[in-house]
Structure 1
Amino acid sequence: MDEKDLQRFKEQLEAMKAEINSDVEQTLNEMTSQTSNIPDPNDRATVESDRSFELRIRGRERKLMEKIEEALGRIEDGSYGTCAGCGCDIAIKRLEARPVAKFCIDCKTRQEQREKEQGR
């Protein structure tokens, strides 16, 4: 992978990180600005349901943020784009679709099959 591709992926990962941080800040502002005195039980249930949904999304984004940080670390140490399983290059198309990918498509497929078999 050349420097131009690495820079492009680094910028993409940084943009993803900034978007997640913005979403988190917006969620915090919304949650702190909402009044907790909602007299109607149905309205209160809706607010709580929405809040729970929002928190689940933020939890998923937190996990994605960890993967973004790992990917940025791999860019810095020179291992970005190399499969953690077999050591082969990860296809550019895969990285374009999933810039945080640690595994080539073959290793990821095998990993998911093993997880599926263990889950039975």
Structure 2
Amino acid sequence: MAIVASNNEPGITKEDGRYALPSTVEIELPAGYRPSSKDNEEYMNPRHLAYFRAKLRHWREQLVEESRQTMDNLRDEVRDVGDEAERATRETENSLELRTRDRYRKLISKIDKALRRIEEGSYGFCDETDEEIGLERLDARPIATLSLDAQERREHLQKQMGD
């Protein structure tokens, strides 16, 4: 379980063959960089981690901003609306906005957990099998914690249990 500095970058550590990227370490990526399994790069190397960290941070900022706008809209809304039908429509819209905001809150929590996994060196590896999740899957769903096989098994079990 040796921890060694890697890539001559201070702060980047490698433990049990996996890189950890502290939030204090910034890696400048080439313009348009996107990790690919075709590049023959080591899986979840510091550049991969920096790419996914930037992607997760950007997504988080978008969700926080949209939540802020939702709250501002609800706060600024005129409460004195006309008839009952208009009031019912407004209540339905507000309920939908609040459900969306709650969904964002849950997504932000998952993003924060993914960012912690990047710092700890466990990002990109399945929680159940410890196998690689895969660059393409993570690019599509950067908060994924399960490999595709493990996710399918879980969904199959849930279907059997009736959840």
| TM-score (structure 2 length as normaliser) | 0.72
Structure 1 or 2, whichever has the larger Rg, is 2
Q: Which has the higher helix share?
A: 1
Question: Higher relative CO (CA 8 A, sep ≥ 6), structure 1 or 2?
Answer: 1
Cα distance in structure 1, aligned partners of 2:98 and 2:162? 26
1:6-65 residue CA offsets vs partner (Å, 9 max, x unmatched): 101000100111011101110111001011111211111111111111111111111111
Q: Which has the higher strand share?
A: 2
The one-letter amino acid paired with 2:142 is P
Cα distance in structure 1, aligned partners of 2:104 and 2:88? 24
Q: Percent identity?
A: 37
Name the counterpart of 1:68: 111
How far residue 5 of structure 1 moved from its aligned partner, in angstroms, is 1.1
Cα distance in structure 2, aligned partners of 1:52 and 1:39? 19
Cα distance in structure 1, aligned partners of 2:64 and 2:104? 9
* Unaligned 5+ runs, structure 2: 1-43
Cα distance in structure 1, aligned partners of 2:157 and 2:108? 25
| TM-score (structure 1 length as normaliser) | 0.96
Aligned alpha-carbon RMSD (Å): 1.0
Any idea what SS the aligned residue of 2:143 has? coil
* Unaligned 5+ runs, structure 1: none
